[in-house]
A and B are shown apart, each in its own frame.
Chain A
Amino acid sequence: DTAVSQTPKYLVTQMGNDKSIKCEQNLGHDTMYWYKQDSKKFLKIMFSYNNKELIINETVPNRFSPKSPDKAHLNLHINSLELGDSAVYFCASSQRTSTYEQYFGPGTRLTVT
């Protein structure tokens, strides 16, 4: 059983397009996250979200928006894609009543041409 899954694993698209990445967790966790990992492997949090509040990293452009249809899903929608958006995007989840360790999805490699 996959704990945190993401689709697609690879996404190649052109500048200016709009795309979405889907994330699902079956761990029963109450909080989900999106991270961006750049070409130098630096991991940066973009959003954290539970059913009560969305915390947005202030450096994230508003072209990026998380959408959560329910507790088990947190999708990432990106408008007007730019070359600099090329990166690996990770979804993660955690339970905020425990030690908060996060479990990550396999990542989505986004390439903008």
Chain B
Amino acid sequence: AQKITQTQPGMFVQEKEAVTLDCTYDTSDPSYGLFWYKQPSSGEMIFLIYQGSYDQQNATEGRYSLNFQKARKSANLVISASQLGDSAMYFCAMRERGNNNDMRFGAGTRLTVKP
């Protein structure tokens, strides 16, 4: 069964606007972590942000914030003030303590920022 679901294969956003990339997950493990990675066209995988299952507040890193809704099992990434350089693939991922803390990735969302 798919553990991480990203339902948006592609998204478009106007430069300087905010955009939300959706991610839902499935786990019965009480201890888990959620991650977002960015993969630009150059191919490298860049770690953006982390949210732990016990964290009370939503994680933020600069223009990135993670909208963590535990009861709904969602971990959406919000990018504020989009820039052209934000155009990339974005992957949501989860690790579970009961799964050796190995990471499982969603299928990704391709974000295109329009000038």
Give the interface SS of chain B, mostly helix, strand, loop or mixed: strand
Report 29 cross-chain contacts, Cβ distance below 8 Å, ordered by A residue: A33-B102, A41-B39, A41-B89, A41-B107, A41-B108, A42-B105, A42-B107, A42-B108, A43-B91, A43-B105, A43-B108, A45-B102, A45-B103, A48-B100, A55-B100, A55-B102, A88-B43, A90-B45, A96-B101, A99-B33, A99-B52, A100-B33, A100-B103, A101-B33, A101-B50, A104-B45, A106-B44, A107-B45, A109-B43
Q: Is A64 an interface residue (CB 8 A)?
A: no
Interface set, chain A 47-83, CB cutoff 8 A to B: 48, 55
A99 and B53 alpha carbons, distance in the complex (Å): 11
Whether the Cβ atoms of A100 and B95 lie closer than 8 Å is: yes
Give the bracket for the number of chain A residues in contact with chain B.
Answer: 20 to 34
Residues of B within 8 A of A (CB-CB), count: 22
Interface set, chain A 25-46, CB cutoff 8 A to B: 33, 40-45
Taking A41-B89, A101-B35 as given, write out 13 further A-B residue pairs in contact, using a Cβ cutoff of 8 Å, ordered by the A residue number.
Answer: A41-B107, A42-B107, A45-B104, A48-B102, A90-B45, A92-B45, A100-B103, A101-B47, A103-B47, A104-B46, A104-B47, A107-B43, A107-B44
Q: Is A13 an interface residue (CB 8 A)?
A: no
A90 contacts across to B, CB distance below 8 A: 45
Instruction: Choose among B37, B50, B104 the residue that contacts A99 (Cβ–Cβ < 8 A).
Output: B50
B102 contacts across to A, CB distance below 8 A: 33, 45, 48, 55
Considering the complex, give the chain A residue whose CB is closest to the CB of B105. A43
What is the distance, in angstroms, from B32's C-beta to the closest C-beta of chain A? 10
